[in-house]
Amino acid sequence: MRAGDSFCNSRIHLSARSRTQRAAEKFPGSRQGDCPVSGSNIEVPICASGHQSGAFAAFELDLRGHGAGALRDGKLRAVHHDGNMDAQQLSFGGLLRRWRQQRRMTQIELALAADSSTRHLSCLETGRAQPSREIIRRLAECLNIPLRDQNALMLAAGFAPVFLERSLTELEAAKRAMDGVLKAHLPYPAFAVDRHWNVVLSNSALPQLYEGCSDDLLCPPVNAMRLVLHPAGMAPRILNYAEWRAHSLHLLRNQAEVRADAGIEALLSEVMCYPIPPHADGAQGFDASQRLATPLRIATRFGIVSLLNTLTVFGTPSDVTLAELALGKRLRQARLPHE
């Protein structure tokens, strides 16, 4: 969202076809009032430049802004959407066709890649042929289908799921390994997030970065995207907010393209609805070189901290939970000679 775009709050009227209306059409179960509406004023810390903007410092954004129904009983809820909700209602052929189209492959291209025939693939998609475990495995490999969705394909074809989905506490060896990596990264922040960017592990480094953030945003499970970009979170103190926001939206859009997930789509819509802080620069895009390492520059009471972000995933997971975890590590950026 550009600085001139309309955004959801109680003081500014939305355009005739607002984000709220589009969200209501996309998610019929949500109500128009679920979009950020009037609520308690959220006092935002003074901007890093030392100037306080009344429009942003007393920004009226009800915490219902975290997607429809995210705030219940006065508390934020984590983003927990089951991306397989539609998958459970589709046949194997319907799922296969959806994945093939999402990967922009023709039946001929997929049949050649999976060492099958176009006729057989067409019969699988129309339900005139029953798939074997082996052909499902080959098709999933060619289509780069995540483990969770490979299980959905197996279930739709009448087979038992292939990959287990255990809780993080059950994955003791992996948890110990991740704990070791996070602790070794001290004194800089490091954390593990699930597929919806909810923090599941953290080394609790540099608590000064989160000073002034709303207590609701810091209640576990903390959503990393929301904490950084929400106006009641770290947003007022991020010096390159527009650049970091563009980077974050780029990540979310990539996730949505790889795997259709209602949780990611809701989080993307929510983040796009956040207003741009008055101190943010006007540049919304960034070139390819910046995409490789976009810094996060934060103003703290000890001065400006510039951090580079890295994301690490497990290369050969065989568990659904492990496959969807990512380790985020923030490294201090070395000062350039002209800084």
pLDDT digits (tens, 9 = 90+) for 298-324: 998 888 888 988 889 888 889 999 999
Whether 161 is covered by a domain: the verdict is: no
Indicate if 65 and 191 belong to the same structural domain.
yes
User: Which residue reads 């410092």 in tokens?
Assistant: 57
Q: Which of 42-46, 94-98, 195-199, 211-215 bottoms out in mean pLDDT, i.e. has the lowest?
A: 42-46
Structural domain contains residue 327: yes
Residue 248 is assigned to a structural domain of this protein: yes
Q: Answer whether residue 204 shows pLDDT above 70.
A: yes
Kindly state whether residues 235 and 323 are assigned to the same domain: yes
Please state, in angstroms and rounded to a whole number, the distance separating the CA atoms of residues 325 and 323.
6
Q: Are 297 and 281 in contact (CB under 8 A)?
A: no
Answer for the pair 23, 35: CB distance below 8 angstroms, yes or no: yes
Distance CA 248, CA 140 (A): 28
Same domain, 272 and 136: no
Specify the residue for token string 């500014």. 12
Q: Which residue among 132, 156, 180 closes a domain?
A: 156
The Cα 69–Cα 306 span in angstroms is: 35
Domain membership of residue 2 (yes or no) is: no
pLDDT tens digits along 60-74? 444 433 433 343 344
Q: Is the domain of 116 the same as that of 49?
A: no
Residue 127's domain is classified under what CATH number?
Answer: 1.10.260.40
Going 205 to 216 to 255 to 142, the CA torsion angle's sign is positive
User: Is 325 in contact with 200 (CB distance < 8 Å)?
Assistant: yes
**Which of 133, 156, 179 is the endpoint of a domain?**
156
Q: Which domain holds residue 292?
A: 19-77+169-332
Residues 270 and 151 placed together within one structural domain of the fold: no
User: DSSP letters along 3-65, please?
Assistant: TTS---SSSSPPPTT-HHHHHHHHSTTS-GGGSS-S------PPPTTS---HHHHT----GGG
Alpha helices in 185-332 (DSSP H): 215-218, 224-229, 241-258, 262-273, 288-292, 320-323
- The C-alpha angle with vertex 141 and arms to 317 and 132, in degrees rounded to 5, equals 110
> Stretch 80-88: mean pLDDT, rounded?
47
Closest CA to 129 of 137, 118, 138, 120: 120
Burial of 105 (0-12, 13-18, 19+ CB in 10 A): middle
Q: How many CB atoms lie within 10 A of CB 315?
A: 5
Mean pLDDT of the chain: 76
Interatomic CA distance for residues 192 and 312, integer angstroms:
9
Provide the 3-class DSSP secondary structure of residue 191: strand
| pLDDT, tens only, 102-136 | 999 999 999 999 999 999 999 999 999 999 999 99
10 Å Cβ neighbour count for 109? 14
* Pair (271, 218) in one structural domain: yes
Sign of CA dihedral 256, 258, 263, 267: negative
pLDDT band at 292 (very low <50, low <70, confident <90, very high): low
Cα–Cα nearest to 75, from 216, 224, 215? 216
Whole-number pLDDT of residue 206: 79
Q: What's the CATH code of the domain at 175?
A: 3.30.450
Model confidence at 151: pLDDT above 90: yes
Orientation angle between helical segments 92-102 and 147-156, nearest 10 degrees: 150
pLDDT in tens, 190-199: 999 999 999 9
The Cα 101–Cα 281 span in angstroms is 38
In contact, 199 and 193? CB cutoff 8 Å: yes
> Which run of H or E residues covers position 137?
helix 133-143
291 and 150 in a single domain? The answer is no
248 and 218 both lie in a single domain: yes
287 falls within a domain: yes
Q: Are residues 101 and 214 in the same domain?
A: no
Is residue 7 domain-resident?
Answer: no
The domain total for the chain is: 2
Q: Which helix (H) or strand (E) holds 296?
A: strand 295-300
5 occurs within a structural domain:
no
Q: How confident is the model at residue 27 (pLDDT cuts 50, 70, 90)?
A: very low
Same domain assignment for residues 67 and 216: yes
Strand order in the sheet with 199-202: 199-202, 190-193, 326-332, 303-313, 295-300
Whether residue 217 is contained in a domain is answered as: yes
Q: Are residues 61 and 99 in the same domain?
A: no
pLDDT tens by residue, 218-269: 998 899 999 999 999 999 999 999 989 998 999 999 999 888 889 999 999 9
pLDDT at position 38? 32
What proportion of the chain, given as a percentage, has pLDDT over 70? 68
pLDDT of residue 1: 42
Using the 3D structure, point to which of 131, 156, 181 is the last residue of a domain: 156
Q: Is the pLDDT of residue 8 over 70?
A: no
| 146/264 Cα distance (integer angstroms) | 15
Residues of the chain with pLDDT > 90: what percent? 48
Q: Is the same domain home to 56 and 178?
A: yes
The partner residues of 72 in beta bridges, in order of sequence, read 75
Please state the pTM of the whole predicted model. 0.68
